[in-house]
Amino acid sequence: MSAEILIIDDNPDIRNIIRDLITESGYKTRVAANYNQALTEIDKKLPDVAIIDVKLDKGDNDGIELLSHIKKKNKDIPVIIISGHANIEMAIKSLKNGAFEFIEKPFDQERLMNFVNRAVENFNLRNQNKELETKLFHSFELIGNSQNIVKIKEQIEKLSNSDSRVFIIGPTGSGKELVARKIHKLSKRNKSPFVVLNGALLDVKKYELELFGEEKIDGSISYGSLEKATGGTLLIDEISDIPLETQSKILRVLTDQKFKRINGTHDVKVNVRIICTSSKNIINEIKIGNFHEDLFYRLNVFQINIDPLSKRVEDIPLLVDYFSSKISNSYNLKNLNINSDNTYLINYNWPGNVRELRNLIERIAILANNNSDKTIAIIKESIKQGDTEIYSESNFSVPLKEARENFEKDYLTTQLKKFGGNVSKTAKFVGMERSALHRKLKDLGVKDLN
């Protein structure tokens, strides 16, 4: 499918020259001759690439304002800024505001087309990556044998025959959206839409527009997430970031099972299952006045808590193997050879949780080419290995007995983590009797991990 370029310039000669150049190169074009036309074209349909003159009919910085308008809608769209009154300050300002390139008038036609071709390639690459990411994410399974993951799988199964609201709590990157999608997939609503509204990413002024939609003066309707999800599931991600005023209106919707669009006069009935997530301590948010207690109890009919990856270390080898297989298949690569029992992976704290681990595996897939030395180097660099090194230089500055004790302590702690604190499984793996391992752990001062 050919890319579409939006050309915004108040000079008809310049506008036509650019349009003819781009059309001859096989791209589709749209044009706008002034600021208002440009707004209409942008709001009607976002282009793949935009070429914008800085000075239009309303002021000296019209183009910069339009650049910001596009970036608010989709930050990935490349925008090429052109100007006949260029200076270094203007160029810097446009690039700081997210412009892909800046070019002065009169411009070299070949140079402009090089910019356009690069911009189209950039946009297509970003889209391909997003599609791959979406494809990967939607096909992911909930992987793990830890008590926490086993319990969550059981909870999801129980919720399959229910229409209850669900509140999912867990740190960033732990898989809250994945759990929500699994609930939807197993529910009787699975043939209807699954819509995600991310409270953390929205402009403060747009929460209600995104939720409720709008009836415009020209009679057209902009549908909000509540209507888009009709018959299906609405996931309100990071709901604790939504302003209190909007929280009150959500509470009213849950109470009345209806709402009005912005500028609307008629009630719209609600038929949607609501799932919410938060990475914050929601009880604390209530105490400090950031979240309505009544709304929490309305939404928290069924609560699912996801532990951070650092608390379910026994899942790490399973996740490494799973992501290695999944990502290598998606990229048409040979099977990745990553030691899933790698000490560096087991001992790392994983502040980004499962998402961070998945990203690391993808980075290894792209960069290491199944070279074990490169794999270890990437792991060390990615997880700041200095924080988790077992064979640290300090071991060489102590007597042999102390160095041996340090090694044994680190080694046994790692194995315990790997087996979820299960002493019997750890003893079997390290080749010790269970009672002997208990005595050794006590002597080394290693506390029970359960």
Residue 432 belongs to some domain of the structure:
yes
How many of the other CB atoms lie within 10 Å of CB of 399?
8
> Is 440 inside a domain boundary?
yes
Q: Looking at residue 401, which CATH number applies to its domain?
A: 1.10.10.60
If you count DSSP H runs as helices and E runs as strands, how many of each does the chain have, helices first? 19, 14
**Residue 321 and residue 183 in one domain:** no
End of a domain among 282, 306, 330?
Answer: 306
Check whether residue 322 and residue 375 sit in a common domain.
Answer: yes
Residue 140 domain-assigned? no
210 and 110 in one domain?
no
Choose the final residue of a domain: 62, 95, 128.
128
In the chain, what is the straight-line distance between the N-terminal and C-terminal CA atoms, in Å? 56
- Residue 91 sits in a domain of what CATH number? 3.40.50.2300
Instruction: Tell me if 77 is assigned to some domain.
Output: yes
Cα 349 from Cα 362, distance rounded (Å): 19
Asked if residue 54 is part of any domain, the answer here is yes
Do residues 274 and 323 both lie within one domain?
no
Claim to verify: residue 155 and residue 300 sit in the same structural domain: yes
Do residues 267 and 196 share a domain? yes
Q: Which two tokens stand for residue 261?
A: 């669009």
User: What is the total count of domains within the chain?
Assistant: 4
Residues 197 and 270 in one domain: yes
Cβ count within 10 A of residue 180:
24
| Angstrom distance (rounded) from CA 305 to CA 148 | 8
Query: What are the pLDDT digits (tens) for 256-303?
Result: 999 999 998 888 898 999 999 999 999 999 999 999 999 999 999 999
Element of type H or E holding 367: helix 353-367
pTM: 0.59
Same-domain status, 337 and 299:
no
Point out the domain boundary residue: 306, 327, 342.
306
pLDDT (tens place) for every residue of the chain, 450 residues total: 578 999 999 899 999 999 999 999 899 999 999 999 999 999 888 899 999 998 888 777 788 889 988 988 888 899 999 988 766 777 787 888 888 888 888 888 888 998 898 888 888 877 766 665 555 555 578 999 999 999 999 999 999 889 999 999 999 999 999 999 999 999 999 888 888 988 766 666 788 888 998 888 877 778 889 988 989 999 999 999 888 999 999 999 999 999 999 998 888 898 999 999 999 999 999 999 999 999 999 999 999 999 999 889 889 989 988 888 888 777 676 667 776 656 778 878 888 899 889 888 888 887 776 677 777 777 777 775 434 444 444 444 556 666 667 767 777 777 777 677 788 888 887 777 888 777 878 877 777 655
Q: Are residues 181 and 266 in the same domain?
A: yes
In terms of residue numbers, what domain contains 66? 4-128
Angle, in degrees to the nearest 10, between helices 423-430 and 400-418 = 120
In a domain, residue 299? The reply is yes
Task: Tell me, yes or no, whether 342 lies in a domain.
Answer: yes
CA-to-CA distance for 24 and 3, rounded, in angstroms?
13
Q: Are residues 88 and 190 both part of a single domain?
A: no
Per-residue model confidence (pLDDT) at position 158: 92
pLDDT, residue 441, reads 80
Q: Is residue 138 part of a domain?
A: no
Residues 271 and 321 in one domain: no
Dihedral (C-alpha) 428, 432, 438, 440: value to the nearest 10 degrees?
-140
Q: Give the span between the Cα atoms of 258 and 170, in whole angstroms.
A: 30
Residue 364: which CATH number? 1.10.8.60
CATH code for the domain in which residue 170 is found? 3.40.50.300
* Same domain, residue pair 293 and 154: yes
Token pair, residue 400, equals 């042999």
- Each residue's pLDDT tens digit, 28-53: 999 999 999 999 999 888 899 999 99
